[in-house]
Structure formats: structure tokens, C-alpha cells
Amino acid sequence: MSLKRLYIKISRWLKILANKSSPRWGVLLIDIFIIINAFIIAYLIRFNFSFHFGSYHIFPQLFLVAFLAFISFLITGSFKGIVRHTGLDDAISVTKSGVILTLFLLVVVFVSRKVPGLSDYNIPLSVVGFNFFVSVFLLISSRIIYKIFHQKIMSHLGSPKRVIIHGAHTGKAVFDAILAASETKYQVMALVDERSEYIGKSIHRKPVLPPKKIKKSFLEKHEIKEVIISKPEATSLELLNIANRYLELGLKVKTVPYINSWIDEKHIRLNQIKELNIEELLSRTPIKIDNPVIKKDIEGKVIFITGAAGSIGSEIANQVMHFNPELLVLIDQSESALYDLQQDFISQSFKAFKVIVADIRDVTSMTAYFDKYRPQIVYHAAAYKHVPLMEENPYEAVKVNILGSKKIMDLAIQYRVDKFVMVSTDKAVNPTNVMGATKRAAEMYATCIQKNSQTKFIITRFGNVLGSNGSVIKLFQKQLKRGGPLTVTHKNINRFFMTIPEACNLVLEAGTMGKGGEIFVFDMGQPVRIFDLAIKMIQLSGYNYPDDIDIKITGLRPGEKLYEEVLGDGEGHLPTHHEKVKIAQLRSIDCENVFKKIDDLKNCHKMTNFEIVKILKDMIPEFVSNNSEYQTLDQN
């Protein structure tokens, strides 16, 4: 066998041994052995390191000490800790064992001096004292030596990634988690912090450096490839600024979750360190809504959710279930997605729900379900939403987004539903495409029927939802897996973004706030340029733009516009009790025209695409097609 193969084999065995936890009985035996030796050392100290203590019967005493140590360790359980994870708690536990053993020995000394025939166990009190300090010192030292030995082996055998930690305050907890890991994934080379009270100090013998010290030369010298940002309190904008700097230096960026996800404020699990995701890089602080009235509105009610298997519908369903409805009825035509939602609810031990595979366009089945369950609140999320597809299929867009929505709204009135909350989109504002126009038509119908209805019709508008089906984020992720390029329709196109939980918070909040007839919109901050988003995703994936992954400009798609709006021409907004939630002030609507045009669209199956779009434009004056074949209709 060659020396190289022998070295590899020994290394593998060492790694296996280092990864294995020492058996508890083994630790217990070693601890007892240490106590026996500590007792001998205590005698040596007492007699000035000479063996002239023959008058004391040390051998019977050794057996007694071993037995009493065994009892002490059983009481405290100090041998049960994982030695390679030794910390302050283990040191305290070992000290408690030493205290208990010392108390036992003092009792033995007292009894031996009172009872004839037990003189063999008359231990000098000084030996008892020395034994306490020596045994505690040796027990703690042995654990620390083992821990250091284990870390050294794993650092040599595991090829850990060299990293820096940004954020010294909570970074210490991250560093502790790295050192305590059974298999070292990271080797920390330094910590970074902007605050003067940390700069120049060291944590676990690693320096805390100011950000200006982290340069290409430093990273190359120490072969550092990754950074862990440990600033869970940072806003999205702060996180963006920190991450951007490291991305420009070519580092892979990871982060830790908010402190409320930690084991406690000082401890974090190593598996909680994750790659920074794009949601955290949006340059705005996530909108949080905490309205206790939501629970009061939903608890004990029968709730319908249409489009329940979609990204928005399923999140609404998850949030609603935590407010204890009497029954949650989940309606969707997508069988597989609805089955997945059902299994998810079962795994969470939810019981008060019913799943129904149904099409909202089927008036017979929908009427039967309204009649059977008598809902008090309806969240209407069912819709066709993909702009290019609906531009090519206006018939389908009208059938679902307008006529399907109309049927559900009419049933809500017929069965005296308390609240009907409709999920709309910023594409309904000054629409430039068929999808946006059909959503605007549904908004208009809801506004018109509100005037003579006891049901409260409430509309919510928001921008693009991160992580939803068909979102640009998922498209970029697929393209990155294929090796690129990432496709962007226009270099200057921008969009508003929000997370799925945020969007659904708006829906629930609107249902609580709404008195009927309102359109609720979010103050969504600044729009994000899609081209910049693509570059960030490339960098987050560990690639360089354009050397590794390029971005291809494909041109605007039919019906697509460069920017979105949440308020239409001539619309203002009113404040609500939440500073980020506004109520749109609507233009006057010709309801008679709306009713007539929707009635005309009932025969859309007999119409051409141009005839359908013409009716939509007659109903919605602000609907002006962009980059679409239907632009010719705007010239008439």
C-alpha cells in the first residue's frame, strides 16, 4: 500500500472517530479515573509531593472516592453532555459534581472520626479541599482539550470554507455555532463591524475589523470565498447596502434569520445560516400589519376562498386558518395544486376545512355550494393573470376574470354574504393589456353593484408578488439553473414588488377595514428595475455578470408597459389607520354602460378577439393597448 493511500485511509478513520459522540459510559469511566488521580495528587500536595503518607490507608479510600464520584456524576448527569460541544453549562455541571463529592467526603470524615473501626477512611480535611480544586480543574481541562483536538482534526480533514462574519454583536453566536458543529462547514478568518466599540477587539482569537479593511487583497491572501451577514435587526435597505459591497468583491453572501427564530437571543443553529434570498434585497422595509380585529372578523365564520390553490389563495387560506373559522371552503379547478394544499393542511392538523374542485364559471355547481355552506366572507382570488397569454386569448380572460367574477359576486348578494374581498392587480390601473382590462372591468362591476347591495364589496390592488407562480423571480431561477442567459424585456422596465404574506395581509386587512365600495392600495415604496434585479440574482448565485451569466434584452411583450401604477388617471387616495394602506379615490363610473357591456360579453364565444377587445375598450375609456395588435382599435 502506498503512503498516499495509507494517509487517505487514516484520515478517513480519524474523521469518522471525530464525528462520533463519545459514549456516555465511556465519559463516566474517564471522569472517575480523573477523580482517582486527582485524589492521589491531593495527597501529594498535602505531603509536599512525597509519598510519606503510609499511615493513611489510601487504597481503601480510592475505592470509596471512586464510588462516591460515580454517585455524584449520576446525580448531576455531567457525563451526558457532548464533550466536543463543551461550554459554560458543562463547566457548571462538573463543578456541581465536585461540590457533591466534597460534601460526601466531609460526611465520611465526620463519621470515621466518630465510629470505631472506620479509621481507614479518616481523610485529612486538607486533602478533601485540594481534591475539590484539582478534580474540577482536571475535569474541565480534559473536556476543553478534547474539544480543541476535535476542532483541529475537523479543520484539517473537512476542508471548511473560509468565511468572514459581518456583525460582531450577534456574530459571536454564529461563531459559537460554527465551533460547536459536529462537522465544521466554515472556518472563520475575521469578523467585521462598523461600530468602534467592537473594532480592534477579538472573538475566539479572531480580529474584529472595520469594513474598509476588507479588500480584494485581504480576501485573496486568506482565500476567503463567503461572508455571513449576522445583522438580523437590519432593514432591507441596510442589508442591501452591505450585501452589494460583498457581492462586488466576488463573495457569496449568506445571512441569518431574525432573532425571534433563534433558539434564544444568544444561540443559533448552524442550519439556520442560509443563502441571502432576493426578497431580502428589495430596497424597502416589509410592510407589517397586526390588526387584532381580523381574528374577531374571521373566528367562527364560514369562509370561501376561490382560486385557493394559487400562490395568493393558498397563503390567504393559511392565514385564515390561524384565526379559527367555523369552516374554510377552498375552491379551485386545479386538482393537483388543491390536493397539495389539502395535504399541507392535514400535516398542520387543521380540521375545519373543505376542498372543492370546481370552476367558478359553472353557475350550477357554484350555486349549490353557496346554498349548502352559506358563506359569510368570500375571498375571491380566482383569475387568469399572465399578460401575454391573455393577450392571445381574450375570450378566456373575459370568461374567468369578468363573467366568472360576476357570477361569484351575484351569488354573494343572493346568499347575503357579509363581505366580498376581491384580489385585483396594479395592471388594472390605466390598463394596456387584456388581462389588466378584464380585472379593471371586474373592479367596476363590484363598485356598481355595491350601491344597491348589503354585501360589502372590497377590492385590493397590489403589485408583483415575489415567489408566486409565473413571477419573474421563478423565471430567473430556472434560467440560472440552465446556465443563462436571463431574459429581460426592456432595460428600463420596472415593477413594484411585495412578498406573498404581505399581499395576503392586505387582503385580510382590507376585509376588516372595508365598509364597502373601496379599493385598497399599498404604499409600496420605490419600484425595482428588473434589469438590476437580474444582476443581483446572478451575483447571489455565485456568478459574475456578464462573464459567467449574461442578460438578454428580448423586447416588450404584447400588452406590457415599462412601469406599473396603483392609482389611475384622475384617482387620488385617502389615508387609513395604517400609514402604508391607502384608499383609492375613484373616478365616476357609468354603471349602466358597465352592465350593458358585460351583458354583451356573455356572447363572447361568438365573437372574434378584436370584437371582444373593442367592447372592453368601450367599457374602460383608459384602456389603451401597448405593443399589441389591438392598438389599431385605439386609432378609431
Q: Residue 380, class by beta-carbon neighbours within 10 Å (0-12 exposed, 13-18 middle, 19+ buried)? A: buried
Contact between residue 587 and residue 594 where contact means Cβ atoms under 8 Å apart = no
What residue has cell string 360589502? 456
451 is catalytic: no
Helix 236-248 with 530-540: angle, nearest 10 deg? 60
CA 385 remoteness from chain centre: 26
Neighbouring C-alpha atoms within 13 Å toward the C-beta of 487: 11
Exposed / middle / buried, residue 269 (Cβ in 10 Å: 0-12, 13-18, 19+): middle
Please, which contacts does 176-180 make with residues 24 or more away whose CB atoms are closer than 8 Å?
176/87, 176/267, 177/267, 177/268, 177/269, 177/270, 177/273, 178/270, 179/151, 179/204, 180/84, 180/85, 180/87, 180/270
Cβ atoms of residues 369 and 329 within 8 Å: yes
Q: In b/e form, how buried is each residue of 404-433, taking b as 16+ CB within 10 angstroms? A: bbbbbbbbbbebebebbbbbbbbbbbbbbb
**Length of the chain counted residue by residue:** 636
Burial 613-629 (b: 16+ CB within 10 A, else e): bebbbebbeebbbbbbe
**Residue of 399, 427, 456, 597 with catalytic role:** 427
Q: Which cell is 508 given?
A: 385580510
Is residue 585 within 8 Å of 603, Cβ to Cβ? Answer: no
Q: Are 553 and 489 in contact (CB under 8 A)?
A: yes
Based on the number of CB atoms within 10 Å of its own CB, is 538 exposed (0-12), middle (13-18) or buried (19 or more)?
Answer: buried
Q: How far is CA 366 from CA 127, 372, 375, in A?
A: 88, 10, 12
Q: Cell numbers for 628, please give them.
A: 399589441
Neighbouring residues of 99: CB distance < 8 A, sequence distance ≥ 6 = 132
DSSP assignment letter at 524:
-
Which DSSP string corresponds to 329-377? EEEES-HHHHHHHHHHHHHTT--SEEEEE--TT-HHHHHHHHHHH--SE
Q: DSSP secondary-structure letter at 109? A: H
Quick check: helix, strand or coil at residue 144? helix
Q: Which residues of 186-222 are buried (b: 16+ CB within 10 A; e: fewer)?
A: bbbbbbbbeeeebbeeebeebebbeeeebeeeebeee
- 63: Cβ contacts below 8 Å, ≥ 6 apart: none
What DSSP letter does each residue of 70-89 carry, written as one string?
HHHHHHH-GGGS-GGG--HH
Cα–Cα distance, 545 to 534 (Å, whole number): 9
The DSSP bridge partners found for residue 161 are 186
Cβ-contact 184, 155 below 8 angstroms? yes
Give, in degrees to the nearest 5, the angle at Cα 582 between 581 and 586: 150
Q: Which residues contact 413 (CB under 8 A, 6 or more apart)?
A: 449, 453, 454, 455
Active site residues: 427
